[in-house]
Structure 1
């Protein structure tokens, strides 16, 4: 759910990027961006709120997770823990995991301010530091999934830590948006690249040559195959419409675009018993 703000010294390209390079780029990138992100979007997200995307659809409205009371719930790419804190205020045992230490520091700050503490770990979705069958629900609200190269491993890890019949839910940039410039204005309404081109988006610092940001694209069909291949049965695919009177601009999301094309996809799936 994050529009990248490009300094003039950044070079943009499309090329193959592996998991190690993606992780080395995106962890430090989120450390640098965390303060601005929380300052800009924290009020919209709420300290103990659960918003699935820039359209403002909440979990209370969507009900994608199902009942959370009394359940063990893991948020992958938890940021400052807002969604996991919502889980805890609704009777669930919410836990967080994020690649960015600075985001986890913001989570601790909000813990202290609200009195609702979310246990969080620094880690990666491709090697979840939990025992098999630890959770009833795993979710990611615009969290880690778009930044992972080895997505098949990440989905398999989710299946591993879920109990039989467990629930997996996540939101991502709607895959059709990959065809359009990431622009909230009229340029963002004209398709400029192939939906089926899965070559990652890469930002490189011109001065050092270091990769500073990576995002990976999968089609809707790719996600269906990934989930089915890991033993999940898809029960939900939500494409939130842009609400009337919602004037927020968040990166490439805006009312102009949101009234014409979907910006967010939310999947819900159950693991086989």
Structure 2
């Protein structure tokens, strides 16, 4: 049986904890075949993002075309894009696909570095419209207008609660025409949280590519992220990476 083919369209994290690198690890550990379209290079480690170099939009489009036209794709994960021009070209390509698309609207890294400007955030509208599921964290949801604005867009999204306060983490799934769902779990107190959002979105994409429903994919992805946090190898002086390798 062939593995599900998952294309990650995102930025590279030189430290290996987030971005394309976290996506490849997640997709592979979960039994998928990982492909990539790199949108930006970063000089990044557990203490922060030290430099960012967006890729030419035409090159991003060429990477997507190469994967889709030859190997094929069963699901797509979108992460850091780097510029409004890249966001536009990604939307152009994905509007032609009929596969699950998970959009992680990356705006701020775990260390606090801004990874999307105002124009890029404005370009997210097209991507949210075509995505099967959008996965904002607390500050990203606020930047997108909060729950009222997201509900008005009539898009499916999961409001991740890892950045909220309190002893528990509450993740809320909102899908047009269906009752809201929520998952609550005790907060894992750790500094090793780098790449949790990337891991969550790429795990959801992999489960969707395998035929899971959105609810099933979210449930399984949450458990995978929590297990990877508990298996963190302890690297770095800041927000350390997860232990993808030790799960499953």
Q: Which TM class, normalised by the smaller chain length?
A: 0.3 to 0.5
TM-score (norm 2): 0.37
Higher share in helix: 2
TM-score (norm 1): 0.35
Structure index of larger Rg: 1
